[in-house]
Structure 1
């Protein structure tokens, strides 16, 4: 969309007026100095009247059109006013000159003109309707340049409003030339005025076995993470009703620019697919589903166990212990741009990247999100939340579509109860990883001391979180 800049005051008409006034003054002065008489004086007098009249027309045009136009810069009717006022002024000047210079009686001419004008008005009634509708559209601020509108099922941005036409550029880059009378007679939706705020609605169906509050919360979490969606007014979810095979939901979000509506709707639909899959919410089809979920969790696949062996702080666990962890693990898919964890949020899960990549951001004291790391398949994050219950220390977002193996802290309860020594071994590994992340700030012996101190702190946090004895 082009930015509408304020129009600068033009002095062109004023300059032309001054030139004509100067010429008129020169002729008037020459007539007096030369003492012109008779026909010669009459010619100079008529030349003076002609030049003074034209100068007056341009002066009035500058006063009545160019100067007030700055006040009308928000309205596309300004060019129309300039044209009409100029026509009226020049028509008046012609009538005046015909009367004063050529001594023509204007009454018969005006009477004849009235008849001709009536005939012309009847033949051009649609044109005049477009003309006056153009005034009405702009004086009532129905539509103006830069507005997003819908007319006759087509969406677009108004690029110009003239005395006859409203020109609209559609999203398909086509131009609609709409007569102003059709704008007045039809239904026009304006998405920019009187407010730029607009609701984008996405309707989705969920299964009857999915609790409504769970579905609504999932949709709200998705909406809050989409760029261009406003937090105030806040997103909301409506239940539209119960259909034959699904519960009908409506996710409604607010945006500040209608131009972004298709992009926001696409992003919402994309993230709903990922979000519903992660939260095991069914998007039902018009067919009967006999078993939506297995009654018993199947034996964890070997690839999950092999993946867990690749995680540094789990590598020393026994095969049976790894199976216990794997039995509670789950696969979650994230779409590009989705936030996986957010800095400061509570958490008790760890993520192992099986495919794709993520970006790690840390929010500074100034409130800016600083990129601190990029992780790829084989990396993991969230181990301190998993084993110590600490809030998320950074925000992690999907750089591309990625698949994660998610481990929950509940998987370690039985392991720590049967073998409390595992907690100490885990604290050593995590302390080493923590100090390596801060290696740039540590040197020599201070790093060794810091690693020992970190190990003691992490061990105490693990014992506190899982409530195991010292």
Structure 2
């Protein structure tokens, strides 16, 4: 009954019940000479049931109701004014049951036997019997009270449970006087008795300090022939990229070597994310970026015994280009076209802090990021440079200069030591000349990218994507093949 939770309503109800008790006591005093009904009533006698007997029974009922309402008003006032702790509803229910049980037992004994000593003895005997028979249920109820009173968990909290060396994550769905209901990572509901739950080893992730999340680990096994320091550098860059681009991840990370065995190295990645993110999802997001960065850096994610598909002549430059071209606008090229372009591409090294591109300069080349990271900067209103984008392995920069001859639109610096693959106009011109369809496909990709950037910046997309794509195609044709547009 929700109205019994309001301190104001309970206050008036207490006064009404007090008045009823005083009226009944006065009536008994006038008609029997005693204010206690049980002193003049004995149900063991074979006398005719009278109004006095009804009044004696009703007095116990009225006492029980009054005691219950007074208790509820006290709890409601405490919960209303308390900021740190609350008395749980289950504890109030237990108090209510105890009050009615004690007044019921007292009424039965005093109306039949008139012996207080028998009342105490009977209460103890009955209490012991009930306690033994219902010991498991009582234990669960008591532990439910502990869980709620101490605020160990709340609905929708995320907890991390350690059991036999494994870690599981659950969301609290419900808890009552017997069970705690949890949802696991596969969306199955798991019910755990309160007594068992209170003895479990767990961390309530939702009740940690503000800004703390769930810290998790992920293992990646790679060929031992890979350069370990290079691998860890790439993996640290993976974590930095995820933290910067995904709001579900927090600024805490670790990367190291866990073990070396059978020609493979196991790398350990530790990261922190929001508790609501399922481990299977957070690990998948990390692994997706890791595979892209490792592949772009030319790190072997398979076995050193695998047969190489590229010949010795095609070497590292070809490998680097071939592994990353599919992440950008050049993915519309066929396998043979990509192989042809990879033979003329060049590798460029850019050290941390070094400027790769200068705003306003004329150029006809683009760069694909193979390793490291770049920062794109433009002058702010105060004249100081501000970073507008970070480019990670697989990203490209300078494509508009390559395809249309447009001046560089921003300054680009190396955020970390970077390895880049440079594509120049003379490298890609023969491929476009032999397959003009590529120009339309590249123009469409560029138009979609510009529309997405406009939507992110101004909350509005380019109105006519087809027209934008056609305009870009004309510009590319005009830059590469003058007289054809």
Distance change >3 Å, CA 325–CA 266, structure 1 → 2? closer
5+ residue gaps, structure 2, are 38-51, 330-339, 348-352, 358-364, 370-375, 390-395, 414-419, 428-485
Task: Tell me if the contact between 2:295 and 2:301 (Cα under 8 Å) persists in the aligned partners.
Answer: no
Match of 1:328 in 2: 345
CA distance in 2, matches of 1:39, 1:170: 67
CA distance in 2, matches of 1:185, 1:324: 64
Alignment match of 1:214 (pick from 211, 215, 230): 230
Equivalent residues in 2 for 1:90-239 (5 A)? 90-95=100-105, 97=107, 104-139=114-149, 141-149=151-159, 155-194=169-208, 196-226=212-242, 227-228=246-247, 230-232=249-251, 234-239=252-257
> So what's the TM-score if we normalise by structure 1?
0.57
Equivalent residues in 2 for 1:208-287 (5 A)? 208-226=224-242, 227-228=246-247, 230-232=249-251, 234-285=252-303
Distance change >3 Å, CA 236–CA 37, structure 1 → 2? closer
Distance change >3 Å, CA 13–CA 87, structure 1 → 2? farther
CA distance in 1, matches of 2:423, 2:208: 50
CA distance in 2, matches of 1:162, 1:76: 16
Task: Tell me if the contact between 1:207 and 1:246 (Cα under 8 Å) persists in the aligned partners.
Answer: yes
Aligned pair count reads 347
Distance change >3 Å, CA 263–CA 406, structure 1 → 2? same
Match of 2:314 in 1: 297
Match of 2:473 in 1: none
Distance change >3 Å, CA 368–CA 228, structure 1 → 2? same
Task: Tell me if the contact between 2:257 and 2:265 (Cα under 8 Å) persists in the aligned partners.
Answer: yes
CA distance in 1, matches of 2:401, 2:227: 28
Alignment match of 1:392 (pick from 408, 412, 434): 412
Q: 1:135: how far off?
A: 3.5
Q: 1:255: how far off?
A: 1.4
Match of 1:350 in 2: 366
Distance change >3 Å, CA 114–CA 361, structure 1 → 2? farther
Measured on the aligned residues, the alpha-carbon RMSD in Å equals 5.1
Task: Tell me if the contact between 1:202 and 1:252 (Cα under 8 Å) persists in the aligned partners.
Answer: yes
Equivalent residues in 2 for 1:20-31 (5 A)? 20-24=17-21, 31=27
Alpha-carbon displacement from aligned partner over 1:34-67 (angstroms, at most 9, x marks no partner): x954589975985995576246314422244223
Secondary structure in structure 2 of the residue aligned to 1:392? strand
Q: 1:249: how far off?
A: 0.8
Alpha-carbon displacement from aligned partner over 1:106-136 (angstroms, at most 9, x marks no partner): 4223313322322222222222222333344
Equivalent residues in 2 for 1:414-429 (5 A)? none
CA distance in 1, matches of 2:199, 2:266: 36
Task: Tell me if the contact between 1:201 and 1:250 (Cα under 8 Å) persists in the aligned partners.
Answer: yes
Task: Tell me if the contact between 2:64 and 2:99 (Cα under 8 Å) persists in the aligned partners.
Answer: no
Match of 2:440 in 1: none
Q: 1:165: how far off?
A: 1.5
5+ residue gaps, structure 1, are 1-6, 312-322, 331-343, 354-359, 371-376, 394-404, 413-470
Match of 1:415 in 2: none
Secondary structure in structure 2 of the residue aligned to 1:88? helix
Distance change >3 Å, CA 115–CA 66, structure 1 → 2? same
Task: Tell me if the contact between 1:237 and 1:251 (Cα under 8 Å) persists in the aligned partners.
Answer: yes
Q: 1:278: how far off?
A: 0.9
CA distance in 1, matches of 2:84, 2:115: 44
